[in-house]
Chains A and B, each alone.
Chain A
Amino acid sequence: MADLSIDFAGIKSPNPFWLASAPPTNTGYQVQRAFEAGWGGAVWKTLGEPVINTSSRFAAVHFGGQRVAGFNNIELITDRPLEVNLKEIYETKKRFPNNTIIASLMVEPKQEKWHEIVKRVEAVGVDGLELNFGCPHGMAERGMGAASGQQPDLVQAQTTWVKEVATTPVIVKLTPNITDITVVARHAVKGGADAISLINTINSLAGVDIHSWNTIPNVGGQGAHGGYCGPAVKPIALSMVAECARDRAVDVPISGIGGISTWQDVVEFMLMGSTGIQVCTAVMHHGFRIVEEMIDGLNNYLDEKGLASVMELIGKSVPKYSNWGDLDLNYKVVARINEDNCINCNKCHIACEDASHQCIDMLTNAEGKAILQVREEDCVGCNLCSIVCPADGAIDMVALDSGAAPMTWNQRNQVISGLNGSYSEVEVG
């Protein structure tokens, strides 16, 4: 059995599975139940000046029969006084000394406010701090959360203020509601962040009721934008984690967040540079005990891969993530249809005819059976047919050896620039 423990910026955790700062980490009762279930750590629901929340807070996007493909919330940070939370954090840490408790914090962007909350929270024995510069709704209207996180200089300044007094590792949680998340990540590092976590939720409106014309959710007929999360956001989160992981200026550990629901998701985030991960929506949908399957699955995976520690996964796919301009233009894949598995639904033909390059022919074979066949010379290898195909194993994407040397768009441009700029003849042929 592999070692699942992690060292995240000096924070030791029995496994990489942490609960994200959110409704499941609102109280000591919940966090203790989570630890009993097997969660390695929890980021306590964001502490700050207690808010007043609305009634009717959550909404979900169900898609294609899957409930909660996406999740939207307009709930704010804790609505309980700081001392109440601190007492429960102390009790929880005392009962579960080997589990990780991170305090998520959000206050006005003032040095004295940050100093005060950091000192009070660290006094009860948290393992680290997470600065919430990410929540897009409600608190942002008050100049906190994403409103802070969208200003790189403010992220840097607030991180610096925290580091002036903090004695535990400081994690800066980033908002995805920004053009280039690495800019903010770099400023967090400049401010002294020991780690970053991403992503927080994405600006969203879950829907509009076409009968009442009310927003979903709505508070007495009025709605406001919320934060979107759940499986639907995973590709966005993974991309942002990858961008930070490959940025040499962002040389701190990453806690990956965003749509993580299974152990396979965890592996993906760790391969793409996360040292640990955080989960919220999947727990809101299925409860704390989903971690049991995640632990088993990760253990089995590591054993199958012959890895002794989960830490060996971190960042292994990062070198494989590059810029479009560095991809090989001469790499070629084509679709191949396996007649044994094809159910002749024609989805591939329709997709190729209507949305791609019209290279899948509907034919009749020698036995009079209808078959679908790819004209490989016209296939651009877009993958669309294999994506829409409902039959497992019916379409394979097969790499062909074009015989041409690898050449990227950037290399091609260099060739052309050199050719046109030098006026020298390049001997070809």
Chain B
Amino acid sequence: MSAFDEFDQERQAIDSLLLQGYTVTGIFEDLDGAKVRFIRREPAGEPIELLLLTADARKHVTTLIFGGSKPAAPIETHT
């Protein structure tokens, strides 16, 4: 799998949770990557934790928080 495909899978997982109403409540980084904790209040759901491995996905989730934006449309590539 290409690096982009690995990232894209993780990005879709993040964006999917956000679109379902989950919010990010914590990001914990260690040698294995970033554990991102999501919770949803309405309707209430069990906390979900994603382990992000790719650098671009770890960047993506923090960019969303930093920018306070919604998940962007998939990046168009030129190939």
Contacts and interface: CB of A to CB of B under 8 A. Distances in A.
Nearest to A418: B65
A404 B65 CA distance: 11
A411 interface: yes
Given A378-B3, A403-B72, A404-B67, A425 B25 contact: yes
A428 B79 contact: no
Nearest to B72: A403
Interface in B6-42: 17-19, 21-29, 39
Given A419-B27, A420-B28, A376 B62 contact: no
Interface string A418-429: 011001011111
A407 B77 contact: no
Contacts of B23: 425-429
B28 A407 contact: no
Contacts of B17: 429
B2 A375 contact: yes
- Interface size class of chain A, counting residues whose CB lies under 8 Å from the partner chain: 20 to 34
Contacts of B19: 429
Contact of A426 (B2, B4, B24, B59): B24
A377 B79 contact: yes
Interface residues of B, number: 34
A119 B77 CA distance: 70
Chain B binding site: helix, strand, loop or mixed by DSSP?
A: mixed
Given A329-B59, A375-B2, A378-B3, A405 B25 contact: no
Interface in B31-69: 39, 59-60, 62-69
A405 B63 contact: yes
A415 B29 CA distance: 13
Chain A binding site: helix, strand, loop or mixed by DSSP?
A: loop
Interface centre among B19, B66, B70 (most CB of A within 10 A): B66
Given A329-B59, A403-B72, A407-B62, A416 B79 contact: no
B29 A416 contact: yes
Interface in A104-136: none
A373 interface: yes
A416 B27 contact: yes
A426 B65 contact: yes
Nearest to A398: B78
A69 interface: no
A429 B79 contact: no
Given A407-B66, A419-B26, A429 B21 contact: yes
A374 B79 contact: yes
B27 A377 contact: no
B63 A416 contact: no
A94 interface: no
Given A405-B66, A407-B63, A420-B27, 10 more contacts: A330-B63, A377-B2, A377-B4, A378-B2, A407-B66, A415-B65, A419-B26, A419-B27, A425-B24, A425-B39
